[in-house]
C-alpha cells in the first residue's frame, strides 16, 4: 500500500519492481517505508542571495501536525546571514542610485 492508499498506478509500479528485483521484493516486504523528515534547500533572499538551509520536519504522534525547523549548516556563510536576518528582520534597505 502506498501512503496515498491503494491505486492502480502504485500497485503496477510495485508489481513491476518486484518482478525485476529480488532485493526490492525483500525490502518492500519489510514495510519500513517512511516519509522524509529532513532535507537540504536553498532559499533565494532578495538582499543576501542564496542561503543554504537544513529543514527538519517534526511530527506529532498522530502525524496530523508538523513543525518545520530551519537551520544553517555548520561552517557556512548561511549562519551569518541568518544571524543578520534575526537582527534586521524585515527592514527595507535603501537602493543605491
2: which residues sit within 8 A by CB, 6+ positions away? 10
For the chain, list the strands marked E by DSSP.
Answer: 38-45, 49-59, 66-71
**pLDDT tens digits, one per residue of 13-51:** 999 999 999 999 998 888 776 667 788 999 998 888 899
User: Could you tell me the pTM of the whole model?
Assistant: 0.52
Q: Is the pLDDT of residue 11 over 80?
A: yes
The three cell numbers of residue 76 are 557556512
**pLDDT tens digits, one per residue of 54-84:** 999 888 888 788 899 999 999 999 999 989 8
Q: Give the pLDDT confidence score for residue 9 in this predicted structure.
A: 85
For residues 62-89, one letter each, b for 16 or more C-beta atoms within 10 angstroms of the residue's C-beta and e for the rest, the string is eeeeeeeeeebeeeeebeebbeeeeeee
Sequence spans of domains, the chain = 1-33, 36-89
Amino acid at each position: 500500500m502506498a501512503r496515498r492508499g491503494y491505486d492502480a498506478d502504485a500497485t503496477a509500479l510495485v508489481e513491476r519492481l518486484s518482478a525485476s528485483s529480488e532485493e526490492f521484493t525483500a525490502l518492500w516486504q519489510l514495510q519500513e517505508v517512511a516519509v522524509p523528515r529532513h532535507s537540504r534547500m536553498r532559499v533565494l533572499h532578495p538582499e543576501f542571495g542564496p542561503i543554504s538551509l537544513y529543514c527538519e520536519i517534526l511530527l506529532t504522534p498522530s502525524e496530523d501536525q508538523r513543525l518545520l525547523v530551519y537551520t544553517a549548516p555548520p561552517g557556512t556563510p548561511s549562519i551569518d546571514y541568518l544571524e543578520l536576518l534575526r537582527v534586521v528582520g524585515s527592514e527595507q534597505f535603501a537602493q543605491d542610485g
